[in-house]
Each structure stands twice: as C-alpha cells, then as structure tokens.
Structure 1
Amino acid sequence: MSSIIKDLPELISHKIISEQTAKDIERYYAAKKEDQGSNTLMIFGSIGAILVGLGIILIFAHNWDNFSKSVKTLLAIAPLLLCQVAAGYAILKNKSQLFKDIAGILLFFTVGSSIALVAQIYNIPGDLEGYLLSWTLLCMPLMYLLRSNMVAFLHLGFITYYAVVAGYFETERPWPYLLLLGAFIPFYLRRLKQHPFGRITSLFNLLFPLSLIITLGAFLAGVGEFGFLVYMALLGFIYNTGVLPKLESRNDYLGLGSVGIAFILLFSSFKWVWEEMETQQVVESYYIILWAILFGGMVYMAIINGGEALLQKCLSGSNGTVSGCVSYRYGR
C-alpha cells in the first residue's frame, strides 16, 4: 500500500491519473487501514456490551418478584446512572472509539430497560409504539455525543422497528419516524464524507435505503394496488442514487433498487393486479402527493445522472475544459 501512495505524485505528473483520482485512492487506503485495525475489536466489543446488558436484565428478571418496590426502583435506575457516568467519562476524557461504542450500547439498552421496569413497578399504562418512540428519542443524542457508529445502527434499527409497529400493526402513520430519520441523516452524511470507502459506511449504505423500503409501507395503509406505483417511484429514486458517478462505489443503493424494481415488475405482470387496480376506489390526495414527490425525486436524479454522464463523456473527448467540451459537443 505504501508503495502505491508513494507513486501517486509520479502518476499525476505524467498525467496517468488525475489529482482527484489520487485523492480517492488515498482516502480508500486510509479507510481500509482504519477498518482493518478497529473492526474486529469494535465488533467483539459491541457484542460483549450487548450480552452484558442483556445478562443484567435477565438476572434482575429472575429475582424480580423477591424485591420490594424501593429495591426494584433502585435496581431499575442504578444501571442507567452507572452507564451515564461511563458515557460522560468517555466524552470528557476523550477515550478510544471502542470505549465510546461500548458505553453507548450499554447506555442505550439501560435506557430501554429502565423505562420498562419503572413502568412495570408503578403500573404506568402504555403500548409498544409509545415505548419505542420514547426510547429512541431519549437515546437519539448519543450517536452525536459519542460519535458512535454502533449507536447510530441501533438508532436506525429501532426507528424502523417503531415504524413497523405503528404502521403495520397499529395502522397509524408513523410521522415521528421522519423526524428521527432526519436526526440520523447528518450523522450518515458526515460518515459518507469522511470515510466513503469504509466497511461501516457500506453497512450504512445498505441499511439506510433498506429502512426506507421497509417503512414506506407503514405510510400506505389502505392505498391498495396504487402502493405499487409509490414503491416503484421510491425504488427508482434509490436506483438512480446508486448510479450517480460520485456514488458509484456505493453499490448497495444500486443493488437494492435493481432487485426491488425487478420484484415489482414481476409481481405486476399478473393480470389480477391490474384488475384489482381498475376496480379500486378513488385514491386519496395524500397518496398521490407522496407518489408525486418520490417520482419527482426519481426523475431529478435521472436528469442529474444523464447530465453528469454527458459531461464526463464530453470532457474525455475534449481538452478537459468547458470551452473545449462545447467545441467537441457541437463540432466547432
């Protein structure tokens, strides 16, 4: 790897590669080196933190009926306080990222367990939807305070779980999901900018569009077969995002979009689908607006792809300048 990095200035001077390509190569090997050094520790450390957190919950649950109400309350809050101290110590002392990830995972699960235990001790009514929403809202700042990728994964997974529960089982549109997803997006974009070729980034590139695909159905209750058109627009948007030249290394978008579009086309090839759509009642304006937004985004991304592809092709046949591109394009 070091020999390749050393040869980059020579390759640039001989115009074999461009400066932008050299920067991409440096970022790629930097991300690869970072991942090789920390992924194993992060994965096993995260698994260990999850198992420890679940083990503590199981110990409490096994002996729960033998405790008084005051002891139960203390046991419900004590792990939360200890994990908060550990997370605060990690931030103030700027500990290693592995330490922050473990502290963040433990604190994430202790928040959920404390909410559930206090509600059970004092018979506070509630449902799974509200429980998941409260849990994720309280833990949302952790991914920024600790800059933890693992907490961001948990955040994305739990807000998707919330949207599924609210939309598919409670038949309510999970609008808070959009707020929680919006809180995740800046973290995701910063990861894309700083480590575009990292393995953690690849997981984000897979899970983020997958979350969108899963949760879209939660907003389509009662829409019927028109939902296929809405899904087709979303999948087209995801596919065109993966085709962007600047995102060509993020093939997870391209793969999910391609598989999803193929599935929708295969499913819609049956005659009964179109017969059901013909007999369906008038679609509400909400669903039409949602389809129009997604379809407009898909068309916009396709236009961007076509424009950038034309520009790249044009520049490759010119002297690399805009004026040369115009002369090449129109034969002047």
Structure 2
Amino acid sequence: MQDRRHVAWLYSQLPELVRDGVIPQESVDRLHRRFGEIEQSGRSRAVVLFGILGAALIGGGVILLLAHNWDDLSRATRTALSFAPMLVGQGLCGWTLARRPDSVAWREGAGTFLTLAVGSSIALVAQTYHLGGSFEDFLLSWALLALPVAYLMRATLPALLYLIAIAAWAGMTYPSAWLGIRTAFTRGLSYWGLLALALPWWFLQIREGRYRSQVALFGWSLALTMPVGYFLTLEERAIGGFWPVWHSAFWTALFLAGKKWWGDAASSGHRPLQIVGALGALGLALALTFEDVWRIRESAQGINTGLFIAIAWLLASLALWGDSLRRGALSSASLLGALPLIAGAAYGLAPASPWAAVALMNLYVFGLGVGVLSAGVRSHALGTMNAGMMILSALIFCRFFDSDIGFVARGVGFILIGVGFLAANLVMLRKRGEAK
C-alpha cells in the first residue's frame, strides 16, 4: 500500500520540477494517474465514518421513539410526525450545502440522515393511511427518492444504498416487470435503466480522482450487485445452451474494464471490477471443465431483451480484449479475456464430443495458470506467481472429484503441484533476498 506521506511529498515537489524543466507535464499527469489523489488521513476518515454512524443512529432512534406511542396518536399527529424527520433532514442538508459544502463528514452525515428519513416517511404514511402496496414497491420508491440525495450532497452512502436497493428489487420482483407490465422488453430493461440513473454519479467522482475511496466503494457495490441484475436478465430462455459464452463475456468484460482503468492502483481495494471479474471468470472456467455441463444443451426459445443485453456484454468483452492485445503482448490479462472465445469453441465441439469440450477447457485453465505463474516469475511478483499456482491447484482440485481419473493419478498430481508451489516460493524469496 502506498505511503501517503511520501506521495504527498512527491506531489509537493512536482510543480517546481516542471518549472525548472526537470520533468515534463506529461510525466506529472502519469504520476497522478499512477498514485491517484491523496486520500484523507485516518483522522479525517474516522470523522466521516462517525458522522455517518451518528446520523444512522439518530435516525433509528427517532423511528423507535415514534413507534413507542404510535397507536395512541391521532391520524393528523401521525402524519405530521411522519414528515418531520424528512423535513429535518432537508433542513440539515440545506444548512450543510450553505455553510459546510466542502466538509465530507457533514455531507455524508446529512445525506445519510435524509435518506433514512425518506424511507421512514414513506413507510409511516403508507401505514397511517393504509395505502397498501408491496415491499418491492416501497423499496423501489425509496431508492428513486434517495438517489437525488446522492447527487445533491455528493454523498456515497445514498448511492450505495441505491445500488443495493435496485438489485434487491430486481431479485424480488422477477419475473414480474417494472410498473406491472409483463413484457419481455420491460423485464430486460428495468434493472439496467435504474442502474443507468446512478452511473453519472460514479463518473463525476472518477473525474475528481480515479483512486478515491468513494470511487472504490461504489465500484465494489457495483461489482457485487450488478451480477444479480445480469443473471436475472439472462433467466429468459432466449439464451439457450449458449450460456457459457454469455456468462463468460460478462465476467471478462468486468475484469478487463477494471484492468484497463484501475490496473495501476496501489492496492487491491481500488480494483473491485478487476478482482470480482477475475474470480467470476475463473469460477466459470473451472465449472466448464466438468463433462456434465456440456451434456445439457437447451435450445433458445425466441428472442427478447435479455439476449440483446447478453450480446452487448459480449461485444464489450471482445472490444476490451482487443484493446488489451493492442496495448501489449499476450499477457495473463489477455489470456483470461479470451475465455468467451474458448467457451464458444468448446460449445461448438460439445455436440460431437463433450469430452473434446472438456479437454479444451482443461487445457485453457492449465495454460492460464501457467501464464499467470510465468508473468509473476518474470516480474518478480510473489502475489501474481501464487495466483498462478492457485489456478493450477484449483484445476487439480476439480479433477480430484473426477471419478474417471484414478486415485494414483490424482494423488501424484496434488503432490507435484504442492512441491512446485513450495519450490517456486522458495526461489522467489531467495531472489528477493539477493536483490536487497
């Protein structure tokens, strides 16, 4: 992890170095892209976190106090109390924008309180007047009303709650469509249309600094919730047996996008798309090494929006993969990005011989592990080298459950991988010691 004090010192020296002609402005821009903006100090982050926690506790306490004597209050009193927290939250946000617009702690705290107040007001008014409706309706209404708070206050938590809420709404309402219109077109676009409303907030944060904590938090929430919407969309049976290609395209597009725009991040915490995409792609590739997967071939049933979304992800994956190849030689990232093509080739082989498809996928995962291992050895990166060993170990572990391979062969394979793991680490540690 980068030392913020050293980076701050480096940034303070850059203007003088540019002025004296020691380094060009282009190098300064590259340094800023490499290290990102200076993160807040631990003390500042603690203030922000305590501000958010305090706002959440106050909001929860207000709701509990109202609930204590709720049944004894008149309808008019209930209505007034239902709107009171939201009005207080709006006043607090207005005061923050007017008097503390540059304070992250105040913006996050006020935005969190108003977001919780909006949810409580909707629930209390609906309960008071018996408006009916389902929990899914409440969740969607709350999310849509809370999203403007994220934009207005430049607050992170309301944006994260929005991502979680629309993913949960998509999961609970499927296969019914948005606004009750049961058509395939609406089912396919509902989640993605809602997601599109939040992405500009993320882009605005990226413009201020690609490696800021707000960008990373949103990225993690996006990477963990977006698969829900994607796989719900593909639940439509238009994808048929071609699902290995569609699913691999999603994971590789996620990985390659993270690698392209956040590959130089100083820590793994700032690479959410890359990490989640890599784990998803590797998990899928390992699953495709089993024969039973290729013996199930469902035919597509019509054409709907889910298929068009899958095609869009495939095109995005191929475009990012081509860009990865143009920017360098055949790297480990390019090998992982080739998964949709390998899965497509295996799909073509499966009707004639499922074993051929299995053999191709096993060779691919083996080659991927060797490629990542070699990249780690060349760059003296112990983490990358161990990642390659883990891929190979996972492949051997999958074959451990393959009854068509004898016990002796499986045992010898495990032993060889274990010895290779230990030997590679010892060699790498020795090289590091000699370098010092």
The two structures have a TM-score, normalised by structure 1, of 0.81
Q: Does 1:305 align with 2:329?
A: no
Q: Does 1:102 align with 2:115?
A: no
Q: 2:165: which partner in 1?
A: 158
5 Å-filtered alignment, 1:190-201, equals 190-201=204-215
5 Å-filtered alignment, 1:166-185, equals 166-167=173-174, 173=187, 175-185=189-199
Gaps of at least 5 residues in structure 1 are 311-332
CA distance in 2, matches of 1:256, 1:142: 28
**Aligned amino acid, residue 148 of structure 1:** A
How far is the alpha carbon of 1:151 from its aligned partner?
2.0
Q: Does 1:111 align with 2:99?
A: no
1:285 to 297, 303, 308: 303
**Aligned amino acid, residue 162 of structure 2:** H
**Aligned amino acid, residue 117 of structure 2:** T
Q: 1:330: which partner in 2?
A: none
| CA 55–38 in structure 1, closer or farther in 2 if over 3 Å, else same | same
2:315 to 293, 296, 300: 296
Name the stretch that deviates more: 153-162 or 39-48: 153-162
Q: 1:237: which partner in 2?
A: 253
CA distance in 1, matches of 2:94, 2:20: 52
CA distance in 1, matches of 2:169, 2:59: 21
5 Å-filtered alignment, 1:1-332, equals 1=6, 3-8=9-14, 19-26=25-32, 31-95=37-101, 96-167=103-174, 173=187, 175-223=189-237, 226-244=242-260, 247-249=263-265, 250-276=270-296, 278=297, 280-286=298-304, 287-309=306-328
Would you say the 8 A contact 1:229–1:291 is kept in 2?
no
Q: SS in structure 2 opposite 1:263?
A: helix
CA distance in 1, matches of 2:96, 2:12: 37
How far is the alpha carbon of 1:308 from its aligned partner?
2.9
Gaps of at least 5 residues in structure 2 are 1-5, 330-436
| CA 33–218 in structure 1, closer or farther in 2 if over 3 Å, else same | closer
CA distance in 2, matches of 1:120, 1:245: 47
CA distance in 2, matches of 1:28, 1:34: 17
CA distance in 2, matches of 1:227, 1:74: 53
CA distance in 1, matches of 2:56, 2:82: 17
How far is the alpha carbon of 1:245 from its aligned partner?
6.1
String of CA shifts for 1:287-325, please: whole Å, max 9, x gaps: 432222111110111122222337xxxxxxxxxxxxxxx
CA distance in 2, matches of 1:3, 1:117: 53
| CA 226–124 in structure 1, closer or farther in 2 if over 3 Å, else same | farther
Larger CA Rg, structure 1 vs 2: 2
String of CA shifts for 1:115-139, please: whole Å, max 9, x gaps: 1111111111211221111111112
| CA 26–273 in structure 1, closer or farther in 2 if over 3 Å, else same | closer
Would you say the 8 A contact 2:241–2:300 is kept in 1?
no
How far is the alpha carbon of 1:154 from its aligned partner?
2.0
CA distance in 2, matches of 1:200, 1:35: 14
How far is the alpha carbon of 1:13 from its aligned partner?
9.2
How far is the alpha carbon of 1:108 from its aligned partner?
0.6
CA distance in 1, matches of 2:218, 2:167: 14
| CA 22–85 in structure 1, closer or farther in 2 if over 3 Å, else same | same
Q: 1:327: which partner in 2?
A: none
CA distance in 1, matches of 2:278, 2:23: 31
